[in-house]
Amino acid sequence: MDIVSQNKSFAGSQGVYTHASKVCAGDMTFGLFLPEEANEGPVPLLWYLSGLTCTHANAMEKAGAQAWCAEHGIALVLPDTSPRGDNVANDEAYDLGQGAGFYVNATQDPWKPHFQMWDYVAHELPDLLANEFALEMDRQAITGHSMGGHGALTLAMGLPGRFRSVSAFAPIANPTASDWGRKQLSAYLGDDESLWAAHDATLMMREKGFDGPVLIDQGADDNFWDLLRPETLAEAMVARKQDGLHRVQKGYDHSYYFISSLMEDHVAFHADALYA
């Protein structure tokens, strides 16, 4: 692992690191904020998964999460959204290929050699974090935005017992029934739609739900509403009697202005679960 940068932030440290990833067959980059308490011993960990076109840097620089994580003594990890590099497959469209890994393990060429983002976020990066930093890996929570909200929800429900809480900002809630999902899932996983269900938060909520609290925030003025399909997840949560809140926020769109406005709520929500 190599240190790209480390900066003091809210009495803690905001770092950026690169490492050789076996599962993604290339170098990967992630951001990690460590609160001041990490100097004394392990601290809980909150994951933030970013959306289409983003890198680790977007939320690190725009979401304003470090201040609230510092207040609660929580570390924040910000993985990249896909493998990258000249030898990594890509597509001219912004919503497929580099920057658009969708947090799945690709089984189809040309994506299969590098696009193993489920294994990267679920296994490889957690193992590295546990070995290199002062983190309480038995106290983890997860959040994300858009494609990252999809990833946060599917990972939380797909890894029972891993995360104490899950939240999402404007998640792609029903990708098997949306152009933001059908295109990517067919490209990465093939045409057998039965394999897609494990990566659809609405279908997973209907089938199994989450063994902890859930918080979803959706902007009422989000211009991607029809692609996100938030109503399907809300209906599934009610049908499941899921412990959680699904809120529609008047006047907010899909941007980081929306995320930063509500980040304090989300970090406090996760802190309640992490310290329960």
Match 């990252």 to its residue by tokens.
Answer: 148
The CATH fold assigned to 2-274 is Rossmann fold (3.40.50)
Tell if the pTM clears 0.95, that is, is over it. Answer: yes
Token couple for 117? 């983002």
In tens, the pLDDT along 99-129 reads 999 999 999 999 999 999 999 999 999 999 9
Side chain identity at 212, as an amino acid letter?
Answer: G
Do 170 and 147 touch, CB atoms closer than 8 A? Answer: no
What is the residue extent of each domain of the chain? 2-274
Q: What is the pLDDT of residue 209?
A: 98
Give the 3-state secondary structure of residue 41.
coil
Distance CA 180, CA 95 (A): 8
Cis before 175? omega within 30: no
Confidence of residue 19 (pLDDT cuts 50, 70, 90): very high
Predicted local confidence at residue 59, as pLDDT:
98
Task: Answer for the pair 273, 138: CB distance below 8 angstroms, yes or no.
Answer: no
For the chain, percent of residues with pLDDT exceeding 90: 100
- Beta carbons of 30 and 125 less than 8 angstroms apart: yes
3-class state of residue 49 by DSSP: strand
pLDDT for position 97: 98
10 Å CB burial of residue 50 (0-12, 13-18, 19+) is buried
- Provide CB contacts within 8 A for 211, sequence distance 6+: 160, 161
Return the pLDDT at 46. 99
Residues assigned a catalytic role? 146, 222, 254
* pLDDT tens digits for range 31-79: 999 999 999 999 999 999 999 999 999 999 999 999 999 999 999 999 9
How far is it, in rounded angstroms, from Cα 152 to Cα 275?
20
Distance CA 120, CA 42 (A): 22
pLDDT above 70 covers a percentage of the chain that reads 100
The token duo for 192 is: 């057998």
Mean pLDDT calculated for residue range 183-187: 98
Considering just the CA atoms, what is the radius of gyration of the chain in Å?
Answer: 17
What are the tens digits of pLDDT across the range 124-151? Answer: 999 999 999 999 999 999 999 999 999 9
Cα–Cα distance for residue pair 57/198, rounded to 1 Å: 28
Burial state string for 131-163 with b = 16 or more CB within 10 A and e = fewer than 16:
eebebeeebbbbbbbbbbbbbbbbbbbbbeebb
Tens-place pLDDT, residues 233-251:
999 999 999 999 999 999 9
First to last CA, the chain: 33
Distance, CA of 42 to CA of 139 (rounded, Å): 10
